[in-house]
Amino acid sequence: MAAIAAPYARAFAAVVFEAHLNPNEVQQQLDDFVATWKEGADLREIFLDPSFAADQKVGILDKLNTRLGMSQLVRNFIAVLIQHDRLNLLDEVLAEYRKEVNRRLGISEVQVTTARPLADDERKSIEQKVAEMTGTQVQATYHEDKSLLGGVVVRVGSTVYDGSVKGKLDQLKEQLAS
């Protein structure tokens, strides 16, 4: 579904940057809409029901927006998703949008997996090293996996840096087998 979601995300990111909007404020408005979307089963049902005309759905969006206070551009983006019957892809479109905004801002989304919880100074050290390697700012999420035994596995996009004890043991096992 990323093939369908990505063009919407890239186009919206382009509009946000061309209009010099604050990406954090836009993200907050999108998050507010998503929270309302997820809370309202009736709302989702209407928006996803093909028997309701797109104009009716956009009218409901406009009434909802009086409460949410989204900017005109954010409202228009959601209206485009409604009119093109893509609201069912909302999560995918917004995930692609976040990736595109981060790319434009020079931020790398990094997943760090360790065998144990890390102290703040250890996290900062890892983020600093990854920032030096990528030449970007780092936005890291942390996970624990006891099977690693020790060390760290860092994923930046599709690239994986495996500095775990388990990874080194697996490499040694492969070398010995060959």
In SS3 terms, 98-145 reads as HHHHHHHHCEEEEEEEECCCCCHHHHHHHHHHHHHHHCCEEEEEEEEC
Structural domains of the chain, count: 2
Distances (CA, A) of 43 to 6, 92, 147, 160: 25, 19, 43, 40
Beta strand 137-144 pairing with 107-114: parallel
Residues 36-90: tens digit of each pLDDT: 988 888 888 989 999 999 999 999 999 999 999 999 999 999 999 999 999 999 9
Q: Which of 53, 69, 103 is the C-terminal boundary of a domain?
A: 103
Percent of the chain with pLDDT over 90: 61
Domain end, chosen from 54, 86, 103, is at 103
And the tokens for 18? 């061309």
Cα-to-chain-centroid distance, residue 140: 12
User: Which residue range is the domain that position 162 belongs to?
Assistant: 107-177
Same domain for 89 and 171? no
Whole-prediction pTM value?
A: 0.76
| Residue pLDDT, tens place only, 82-115 | 999 999 999 999 999 999 999 999 998 899 999 8
Q: Are residues 15 and 91 in the same domain?
A: yes
Task: Name the pLDDT band for 33 (thresholds 50, 70, 90).
Answer: very high
